[in-house]
Structure 1
Amino acid sequence: MQEGKGRGYERWAKIFNVKQMSKVLLYLQEHDIRDYEDLEKKAKSSAVKFHALSDAIKEKEARLRDIAKHKMQLINYAKKCQTCLVRSLSAGQFSGDWGDAHQQAESFFVQKDTACQFTILIIYM
């Protein structure tokens, strides 16, 4: 017992320790663990499962961060392409109705940058 603690703490600590030991015994009985080797096997298998799940979670979190980064880049690029398209249309670079202008603009931007085709399709879907 710790020095300077009263009789109440001592009583509480004894009761707490007995409760913890009873929980351990119940766990061992429920999982049919009879000796230390069985406990060791269960601990190792649990650790292996934990590490596998932890690694899978880390991989998925890294993939989500990568997707979020690409999404932000795509959004910024789409804004840039949309601005370029609006400027080009208002400058009269494309002739005809809106459908023709859209096709002309799409081919114009595909020639400038292949990634812009994807962003134009996203903007107009």
Structure 2
Amino acid sequence: MNDQYAEIKAELELTKKELISRLMQSTQYEVSQELLFQNQQSEKEKIIINHIKEDLYDVERALNKMNSGSFGICEETGAEIPIHKLRILPTARTIFEFSFTDLYDRNNCLPQQRENHLYLV
């Protein structure tokens, strides 16, 4: 594994522990609610549990890619994802996941053009 990814790996491992802890807490809540309200679990809690599971899956995938040596490689183009972008979103699978942030950065760098655009509309 590349040394520059060590910090990202530590962050991913910490995130994994936190997600597992949150999932355990939510699952315990889910079980207690089922016992009290005969399977009437809130829709909000179901959504939260689902999001935690999705995030955990993404983190585990990123860690597995680190172990296999394919971390930081775009799954669609095969291009290397810049390290500064991976520090922001270490679970990114493609370079296209950063399209919105690239657009946002460009808009922030060009405030004069953005103001002129408002007057043209």
> Structure 2 length normalisation: TM-score?
0.37
Larger helix proportion of the pair: 1
Which structure has more relative contact order (CA 8 Å, sep 6+)? It is 2
Q: Which has the larger radius of gyration?
A: 1
